[in-house]
Amino acid sequence: MKNTVVKILTALAFVILITGVANAAGEAQRRWERMNQIRQEKFDLVLPEVMRENNVAMWITVSREGRDDPLTEDFGKGYVGSYGYYIFTDRGGERIERAALGIGTALIEDNGAYDIMTESFDLKEFVEERDPKSIALNFAEHIGAADGLSHTDYQKLTRDLGQKYAERFVSAEKLTSDFRSRRVASEIAAFAWAGEMSRNIAERAFSNEVITPGKTTLADVAWWMREQQFENHLGTSFGMPSVYITGPDGFVALSNDHVIQRGDFLAIDWGVGYLNFYTDMKRHAYVLREGETHLPASIQKAFDNGLAVRNILKNHIKAGRTAGETYTILNQEINNAGFKIMESFNSPTDDP
């Protein structure tokens, strides 16, 4: 009888273990499937448009063992023995040719987003056959996410392809920005989920669930938020969340052992990572003093002014303008409404 009980308990433990693994794999597979859908839609709908707008005939992204390009998640991560290449070529027609050379995984192949997948290739022959007039590479002056090519990668491409094609190298900075920023429907849905997770965690952090005035420190709040990222399998936009106290003179304390007190004005600046999306969200909170049931008039006024400026932003951000044009218009409209643009972040002012 004892042996039977042991066997039953062992079997139950095994079932629980398998069930737990299956549930964990479920979320991993769902995220993989979402990225597959996004990748297919981006390649079909966005890639041809942005390559032609930027006069790019071929786009090469280098992947190496132990060092991914910032775009690796977008293109599909696989095993790279030494060097691998994602190569997109405009050969005419509606579709851009997609090739993954030296990047091995059944997951990318099963996705069906690539026309060519092989571990055996001659990079120079591949490029010569297509003879592109321009070759975009991921080096960039202003955008870190478009600057994944190392100096060593650049030198190797120059050697392997020869001077003829090296003279056709151009920066993929604008191309990368356009490819990443033009969202398809599946991306918008995924980013909305990331934003909701970011909002939910931030607002719980600034609640009685987490904060006890006179006891909880800023670091306690920051670590609680970091733990929520860990438990929900989320990345981080900025490392440790910035949880701080601000006042008339600017920053008072930032994610440290400062104990939160009644009357403090708190702020959060943080973001989560989901798939290859990263949020950047702010939240503010006032810790009521004993006997207070509403915000002080000064803080309520600041909140109302913030809503007024937010409405200006919503009403004047329109499709069809450049970011620079929009920025100029917004500054003018904000000034017209009686507000002033801050010259630097969290700059105190005597202007009421």
d(CA 106, CA 39): 16
Backbone angles phi, psi at 314, to 5 degrees: -60, -35
Instruction: Output the six-digit token pair for 3.
Output: 């042996």
- Ranges of residues in the chain whose predicted pLDDT is under 70: 1-25, 345-352
Residue 252's pLDDT is 83
The domain locations on the chain are 23-181, 185-293, 294-352
Name 169's bridge partners.
135
Choose among 343, 340, 344: nearest CA to 352: 340
Residue 342's pLDDT is 79
d(CA 109, CA 124): 23
Pick the CATH number of 23-181 from 3.90.190.10, 3.50.50.60, 3.40.350.10, 1.10.150.20: 3.40.350.10
H helix or E strand, kind and range, residue 63: strand 58-64
Residue 348's pLDDT is 66
The torsion angle over the Cα atoms of residues 29, 30, 36 and 41, rounded to 10 degrees, is 170
Residue 138's pLDDT is 98
Bridge-based pairing state of the strands 58-64 and 135-137: parallel
Residue 351's pLDDT is 64
The overall average pLDDT reported for the chain is 89
Instruction: Output the six-digit token pair for 191.
Output: 């980013």
d(CA 332, CA 328): 6
Domain 185-293 has CATH 3.40.640.10: no
Residue 104's pLDDT is 83
Instruction: Output the six-digit token pair for 213.
Output: 């005035």
Query: Which pTM does this prediction carry?
Result: 0.82
Going by the DSSP 8-state scheme, the letter that residue 46 receives in this structure is: I
Exposure class string for 47-80: b at 16+ Cβ within 10 A, else e: bbebbeebebbbbbbbbbeeeebbbbebbbebeb
Q: Per residue in 263-292, pLDDT tens? A: 999 999 999 999 988 999 999 999 999 999
The CA angle 202-207-208, to the nearest 5 degrees, is 150
Look up residue 46 and give its amino acid: V
